[in-house]
Structures are given as structure tokens and as C-alpha cells.
Amino acid sequence: MSTAILSALPEEQSGLLASLEQGQRLVHAGRVFWQGKLYGHSVVLALSGIGKVAAATTATVLIERFRVARIVFTGVAGGVGDGVSVGDIVVAQDYVQHDMDVSPLFERWRVPGYDGVRLPCDPALTAILSEAVSACLISAGGHFDHEFMDAAPRLHRGLVASGDRFITCGEVARALRDPLVAAGHDVLAVEMEGAAVAQVCMDYALSFAAVRTISDRADATAHVDFPVFMQKVASRYAERIVRELLLNLKK
């Protein structure tokens, strides 16, 4: 059975696509999917598009059409947690939709029909992904170092928030994070797709894990740094982490 590697943007998968063996291109639901072999594993590479609805559609196609065994999301995010710096890597343990609010009918951030605010990732797959990140950081030496980074990149594990907004203002980032933290949800990073994929995978009882490279601090510099960071840093992170993950996965 195949492992789906899902990303939002082409730059996040350029290295993986170049390494794909026996690649076959398929188009379904307006999206391009690449099936083939990567480091000895059957994989499907796909781009989710940007935003929760696009990501949910793509995840559903991967499950219904391609019958994948698991979905791994690799991409970038804005850091909002204390000590989460540009160049660090966050492995999601669970997700929250920061723009979901059906209060007072339900608790803020809770998706109706689901238990609690948080949407969990698969613990076993997440542990393998965390090990892959740790191994990459140990073995990479200075490979990941870049002018964007003030220090060597670090691994963080915890809560990631998703919503249909690209955060480019420190005030907005604080307004997003502070109520979550006050309610006991110490969010580390913010992006636009992962919670939707986590929700779909919960519906289908499918294993899901996600890793996000911190491209910015979700402030006024985000739109300036983002394209260059994607090209020079994020694609290298994705390629090395996914390689290590697949080498450690059982076929």
C-alpha cells in the first residue's frame, strides 16, 4: 500500500519529484498526482493547494481514489510559539482550527461532531516522523544552515493551528495564539491546511502525520521572506526528512 506525501506548494516537493522512480502522472478532481517508487516505497505525491477546503478535497481523493495507507504532510508554517524560530521544524502532535467558532453552541475552536478542540495525529506515525527529523538534524551538519537562521535548527513537537488566512501581522498572530494558550492549547505554529487533513483522516481512520518548517514568525516580514525561504531551505528540508521517514517505515 502507498504512502501519500502531501504538500501545499510545488517548491515543497520539487526534490521528491526529481527522485521519483517509475513515475506516472494522473489528473483527478483538477489535481495532479504522481505515483511511483521513492526510496523503495510505493508513494503518491500530491499538492493539496492552499487552504482547508482544497486540502480536504485532496486528502479525500488520496483515500478514495488511490487507497493510500497513510498521509504525511510536509510544508512550511509561521512560528507563533515561544522559542520557535525561523528554520526550526515542528512535528504536529495534534491540530486545531483557529478560525472555527460555533460558540456559544459549542466550545470555541471545536469542530461540531468531534470530541474536544484538538484533532490528533497518529501517534505511531508521528513518532517515526519525529525520529526522521531528529536523524536529519544530527546528520546534516551545516547543510540546513542559512542566513535566515540565527542558530542551528531545532525540533519541536506539539500543537499546530490551521485557518484560511496567511498571517503577516504580529498583532494578529498574538490575537490568534493568546486565547488558545489561555485555554490550555499552547500552539507552536500556524498554517492553512493540516487541520483539515487531520479531520478527513479521522473520518476514515487513516494514519496521518505532519511536519512543518518554520519559514517566518507570522509577522510583517512573512511575505518578504517566504518565497526565498521556500526555494533555498524548505525544499531541502522536505527531501531529507521524507527520505529518512521512508527508510524507517515498514513496507
pLDDT tens, residue by residue, 40-63: 999 999 999 999 999 999 999 999
In this predicted structure, the answer to whether residue 142 has a pLDDT above a threshold of 90 is no
Rounded-to-integer distance, Cα 60 and Cα 48, Å: 10
- What percent of the chain stands above pLDDT 70? 91
Cell representation of residue 223: 511575505
Helix (H, G, I), strand (E, B) or coil at 10: helix
pLDDT band at 21 (very low <50, low <70, confident <90, very high): very high
Split at pLDDT 50, 70, 90, the class of 11 is: confident
Q: Which of 183, 127, 188, 201 is nearest to 162 (CA)?
A: 188
Residue pointed to by grid coordinates 501545499: 8
Q: 157: Cβ–Cβ under 8 A, 6 or more apart, which residues?
A: 90, 91, 92, 93, 126, 130
Alpha helices in 93-193, H assignment, sequence order: 123-139, 170-182
Q: What span, in angstroms and rounded, lies between the C-alpha atoms of 46 and 65?
A: 13
Check residue 251 and give its pLDDT: 56
Show Cβ contacts of residue 142 under 8 Å, excluding neighbours closer than 6 positions: none
Say whether pLDDT at 151 is over 80: no
Kindly state the average pLDDT of the residues 179-195.
Answer: 96
Question: Which cell numbers hold the place of 7?
Answer: 504538500
Contact 159, 92 (CB under 8 A): yes
Catalytic residues: 12, 216
